[in-house]
Amino acid sequence: MPTKTPPITLLWPNKPSLLPPNDPPAPQRLGTFAVPSEPSDAALHVPPNALYHGDNLLALQHLRCSCAQKIDLIYLDPPFATGRIFRTRQTPSNAPTTAYRDTWSDKAQFLSMLYPRIYCMTELLSPKGVLIIHTDTRFSSYVATLLFEIMGEESLQNEIIWSYGGRGAKAHAGQFPRNHDTLLVFSKGTPTYHRQDRILRHPKTQLPKHILIDELGRPFKTSPRGDYTDQSIDRLALEGRIYYTRNRQIRIKYFLEHDKHHVLEPKQIGDVWDDIPDMMHCPRTERSGYPTQKPLALLERLLRAWSNEGDTIADLFCGSGTTLLAAQRLKRRWIGADQSDIAIQTTQHRLLQTPNCPTFHLYRLNEAAPSPEQPSPDPPVPPPTSARRKR
Ligand SMILES: C[S@@+](CC[C@H](N)C(=O)[O-])C[C@H]1O[C@@H](n2cnc3c(N)ncnc32)[C@H](O)[C@@H]1O
Q: In this predicted model, what pLDDT tens digit does every residue of 187-237 receive, in sequence order? A: 989 999 999 999 999 999 999 999 999 989 999 999 998 999 999 999 999
- Which residue has the CA at smallest separation from atom 26 of ligand 1? 319
Burial class from Cβ neighbours inside 10 Å (0-12, 13-18, 19+) for residue 269 reads middle
3-state SS class at 122: helix
Mutate-to-test residue for ligand 1 from 118, 298, 340, highest number of ligand atoms within 8 A of CB: 340
DSSP run (H or E) holding 326: helix 322-329
Mutate-to-test residue for ligand 1 from 338, 345, 350, 363, highest number of ligand atoms within 8 A of CB: 338
- Domains of the chain by range and CATH? 28-196+269-390 (3.40.50.150), 201-267 (no CATH)
With b for 16 or more beta-carbon neighbours within 10 A and e for fewer, the 107-123 pattern comes to: eeebbbbbbbbbbbbbe
pTM of the model: 0.85
Instruction: Share the mean pLDDT of the chain.
Output: 86
Single out the residue of 111, 90, 92 nearest to residue 100, CA to CA: 90
Q: Provide the angle, in degrees to the nearest 10, between the axes of the packed helices 56-66 and 107-124.
A: 20
Chain centroid offset of residue 267 CA = 21
- Which residue has the CA at smallest separation from atom 7 of ligand 1? 293
Say yes or no: CB of residue 114 within 6 Å of ligand 1. no
Q: Stretch 52-71: mean pLDDT, rounded?
A: 91
Q: Stretch 101-116: mean pLDDT, rounded?
A: 93
At residue 36, the pLDDT reads 47
At residue 23, the pLDDT reads 66
At residue 24, the pLDDT reads 66
Confidence of residue 388 (pLDDT cuts 50, 70, 90): very low
Q: Per-residue pLDDT for 390 more than 80?
A: no
Confidence of residue 271 (pLDDT cuts 50, 70, 90): very high
Least trusted range by pLDDT, from 58-67, 92-101, 148-157: 92-101
- Which residue has the CA at smallest separation from atom 27 of ligand 1? 319
DSSP run (H or E) holding 223: strand 219-224
